[in-house]
A and B are shown apart, each in its own frame.
Chain A
Amino acid sequence: MFEARLTQGRLLKQVLEAIKDLVTDANFDCAATGFSLQAMDSSHVSLVSLMLRSDGFDHFRCDRSLSMGMNLNNVAKMLKCAGNDDIITMKAEDSGDTVTFMFESQNQERISDFELKLMDIDSEQLGIPDTEYAATVRMPSGEFQRICKDLSSIGDTVIISVTKDGVKFSTNGDIGSANITCRQNTAVDKQEEQTVIDLNEPVQLTFALRYLNSFAKATPLSTSVILSMSKELPVVVEYRIAEIGHIKYYLAPKIEDEEMEENDG
């Protein structure tokens, strides 16, 4: 039997909003350690990895590990019916084929049960090696979201370059080009407003903005975002969710193609 109760129900709503654009169907894994998910988008360009630790829930019980396949859009539909201040409880039997979401309003006056049919999904797991990244940038998540949104109105790819002074986002499109630089800024008192760069080696990588915009849907979950990059490796875009876990997104960079001859004809 699995049962997890979260006073901050809003958080679960936001988590769903942050992954449903990327992945349609996925398996949620319930274990004694927590509630997690790893899934790739259908083109295998990006991956989302969610972890909500059991100690972050108000109540968490998981007798044996379960893998629950769900259509994320359908989960989001149900969670939309929960109020922002509702307490959400998830429940599933070990051998059942449904999961129940229970919403309780703050004053306990309204209690709703939503039962979702589970589905069988072939899940594949990508083994991600633990690497030391050449550059790590922590910046306000709102700032990152705005940059991605602004740049995607000009072009469809972004070049992210990190040096010791700052991080530069550049794009090129039919109408022109754009560059946005964020300087390292540790002077402000509030940690969430800082831009901190931890650099072993300058890095420059190219990414499709479309995916970064999807990642930025996680902005409400955290005030800052952490970008970890190494030469010729996927970027990690991490949102830490206070006291309970994180969402990490991995995105494969764009690479130069050697089999295409120069386009000069």
Chain B
Amino acid sequence: MGIKGLTKLLGDNAPDCSKEQKFENYFGRKIAIDASMHIYQFLVVVGRTGEQSLTSEAGEVTSHLQGMFFRTARMLENGIKPVYVFDGKPPNLKKDELAKRFTKRTDATDDLAEARETGEAADVEKYSKRTIRVTQVHNDECKKLLRLMGVPVVEAPSEAEAQCCAMNKADLVFGVATEDMDALTFGTPRLIRNLMAPASAKITVTEYDYDKVLEGLGLTVDQFIDMCILCGCDYCGHIKGVGEKKALQLVQKFGDMKNIMGSLEGGKYVVPEPFPYEEARKLFKEPSVLTGDQLPKMTWNAPDEAGLVQFLVEEKSFSEDRIRKAIERIKASHGKSTQGRLESFFGQPKPKPAGEKRKQPAAANNKGAASSKGPATKKGKTGVGGKN
């Protein structure tokens, strides 16, 4: 999943690209969410003890619904407008990666059987987590749930990450919520991590700014993609011995994948065969996505209370009390007008000219601070004249 070591690399080399945000500050924002990735997380984490998951009376797993319902409810209560994007057909290049994951799952299934026999509780939990797989049923149930909650759902033609990113680029959404760093490789302008973390975990939300990522690393768009491919992505094999640091060095030194490949030839690093970096690059740059009119209209409707109770309580054995209370809270925040932001009236804030900052030579800006302040510090009531 994702790009190996990218988070750490960014932390070390482009510390300005990420900043912490409060969950509450996303009110009124439209956020595209990679549904498939989160469903997987819910299945792994929510309501899990040992090998046992949350299930309905009929014994079907309901962790994904539990996670999806309550975390989405929390966003809606806070005025966030989520759009869920589901994976479509995986690109051909990802088949190898998927096959690898399949083997890992099969291995884990064997290990799990062994662990059960030896009775190692910790191992049982570890291996049973590894056997988890998101099925079509999980996806369909989540889609049904989201539609009942009044939340828009987008079905991507291929990778959900790429679709989310395209929506962010087109300014249809404020940012993309995912834990998967390859959203940045696709060029997501604003990646938001930990937005779906439970409130109880008290994890701060972190925002990554794509432009600042490139600026911090000193790379172009293409070079950044190449670096991610070298780090190890889902589409290409991985060169043994090349980690994130080496990948950055190589790109910075040789600038281009062709030169890098040339430099590695005959060296100690063995490039796997095949290493379809050009195709991988293309998938990152021109992924198959829906655009413009192909996308469904995004509206956020009031939740269908009867439908939700029928589905979650009757069919999936959720506690009626908790479901109804959550619906109540969603409804309460739904009709409300949204809080505006100053940017929407006054335009985006601009970073202050660097010359004004402390510790920097201040020669050129003796009066700078005063004059750049603009009307904010102007004195007195506004004068006479026509109104706008």
A29 to B381, CA, bound (A): 23
Chain B 358-388 residues near chain A, CB threshold 8 A: 358-359, 362, 365-370, 372-379, 381-388
Interface of B is mostly: loop
Tell me which residues across on chain A come within 8 A of B301, comparing CB atoms: 260-261, 265
Interface of A is mostly: loop
A95 to B367, CA, bound (A): 17
Interface centre among B304, B339, B374 (most CB of A within 10 A): B339
Interface centre among B22, B299, B362 (most CB of A within 10 A): B362
- Please choose the segment from B33-41, B177-185, B329-337 that sits at the chain A interface, where 4 or more of its residues have CB less than 8 A away: B329-337
Nearest chain B CB to A152 CB, angstrom units: 15
Pick the residue among A118, A124, A128, A228 that contacts B375 (CB under 8 A).
A128
Can you list the 10 inter-chain pairs with the closest CB atoms, starting with the nearest? Answer: A124-B349, A263-B335, A252-B340, A65-B369, A130-B375, A265-B302, A31-B369, A43-B25, A31-B370, A254-B337
Tell me which residues across on chain B come within 8 A of A94, comparing CB atoms: 362
- Please choose the segment from A34-42, A75-83, A183-191 that sits at the chain B interface, where 4 or more of its residues have CB less than 8 A away: A34-42
Contact A32-B382, Cβ < 8 Å, known A263-B302, A265-B302: no
Tell me which residues across on chain B come within 8 A of A248, comparing CB atoms: 376
Nearest chain B CB to A132 CB, angstrom units: 5
The answer to whether the Cβ of B294 comes within 8 Å of any Cβ in the partner chain is no
Pick the residue among B25, B345, B359, B370 that contacts A95 (CB under 8 A).
B359
Tell me which residues across on chain A come within 8 A of B150, comparing CB atoms: 261
Contact A261-B302, Cβ < 8 Å, known A67-B358, A127-B346, A252-B344: yes
Pick the residue among A66, A67, A120 that contacts B352 (CB under 8 A).
A67
Contact A47-B342, Cβ < 8 Å, known A132-B388, A255-B337, A260-B300: yes
Interface centre among B300, B349, B372 (most CB of A within 10 A): B349
A230 to B25, CA, bound (A): 25
Chain B 79-110 residues near chain A, CB threshold 8 A: 81
The answer to whether the Cβ of B347 comes within 8 Å of any Cβ in the partner chain is yes
Contact A38-B366, Cβ < 8 Å, known A45-B342, A133-B382, A265-B303: no
Residue in chain A with minimal CB distance to B386: A132
Residues 264-305 of chain B, each 1 if its beta carbon lies under 8 Å from chain A, else 0: 000000000000000000000000000000000011111111
Pick the residue among B305, B335, B379 that contacts A51 (CB under 8 A).
B379
Asked if A259 and B377 sit within 8 Å, CB to CB, the answer is no
Asked if A69 and B342 sit within 8 Å, CB to CB, the answer is no
Nearest chain B CB to A213 CB, angstrom units: 15
The answer to whether the Cβ of A140 comes within 8 Å of any Cβ in the partner chain is no
Residue in chain B with minimal CB distance to A127: B374
A261 to B28, CA, bound (A): 14
Chain A interface (Cβ < 8 Å from any Cβ of B)? 27, 29-34, 36, 38, 40, 42-47, 49, 51, 64-69, 94-95, 97, 118, 120, 122-134, 136, 200-201, 206, 208, 226, 228, 230, 232-234, 245-246, 248, 250, 252-257, 259-265
Residue in chain A with minimal CB distance to B351: A124
A185 to B218, CA, bound (A): 63
Asked if A44 and B343 sit within 8 Å, CB to CB, the answer is yes
Asked if A200 and B344 sit within 8 Å, CB to CB, the answer is no
Asked if A122 and B339 sit within 8 Å, CB to CB, the answer is no
A46 to B339, CA, bound (A): 11
A69 to B352, CA, bound (A): 13
Interface centre among A34, A44, A233, A246 (most CB of B within 10 A): A44
Q: Name 14 interchain pairs, CB-CB below 8 A, sorted by A.
A: A31-B369, A45-B339, A45-B342, A46-B342, A65-B362, A65-B369, A118-B358, A126-B343, A126-B376, A131-B382, A136-B381, A234-B340, A252-B341, A265-B303
A264 to B335, CA, bound (A): 9
Pick the residue among B338, B362, B367, B379 that contacts A32 (CB under 8 A).
B367
Residues 121-158 of chain B, each 1 if its beta carbon lies under 8 Å from chain A, else 0: 00000000000000000000000000000100000000
Asked if B349 and A40 sit within 8 Å, CB to CB, the answer is yes
Asked if B387 and A132 sit within 8 Å, CB to CB, the answer is yes
Nearest chain B CB to A173 CB, angstrom units: 12
Tell me which residues across on chain A come within 8 A of B350, comparing CB atoms: 124-127
Tell me which residues across on chain B come within 8 A of A200, comparing CB atoms: 387
Asked if A126 and B349 sit within 8 Å, CB to CB, the answer is yes
Asked if B373 and A36 sit within 8 Å, CB to CB, the answer is yes
Tell me which residues across on chain A come within 8 A of B111, comparing CB atoms: none
Nearest chain A CB to B71 CB, angstrom units: 20
Asked if A49 and B349 sit within 8 Å, CB to CB, the answer is no
Interface centre among B25, B343, B388 (most CB of A within 10 A): B388
Asked if A43 and B374 sit within 8 Å, CB to CB, the answer is no
The answer to whether the Cβ of B356 comes within 8 Å of any Cβ in the partner chain is yes
Tell me which residues across on chain A come within 8 A of B339, comparing CB atoms: 43, 45, 208, 252, 254-255
Residue in chain A with minimal CB distance to B347: A127
Nearest chain B CB to A254 CB, angstrom units: 4
Pick the residue among B22, B349, B375, B387 that contacts A129 (CB under 8 A).
B375
Tell me which residues across on chain A come within 8 A of B374, comparing CB atoms: 125, 127-128
A44 to B342, CA, bound (A): 6
The answer to whether the Cβ of B24 comes within 8 Å of any Cβ in the partner chain is yes
A104 to B28, CA, bound (A): 49
Tell me which residues across on chain B come within 8 A of A123, comparing CB atoms: 351-352
Asked if A257 and B375 sit within 8 Å, CB to CB, the answer is no
A208 to B141, CA, bound (A): 38
Tell me which residues across on chain B come within 8 A of A263, comparing CB atoms: 302, 331, 334-335
The answer to whether the Cβ of B27 comes within 8 Å of any Cβ in the partner chain is yes
Interface centre among B302, B331, B342, B386 (most CB of A within 10 A): B342
The answer to whether the Cβ of B246 comes within 8 Å of any Cβ in the partner chain is no
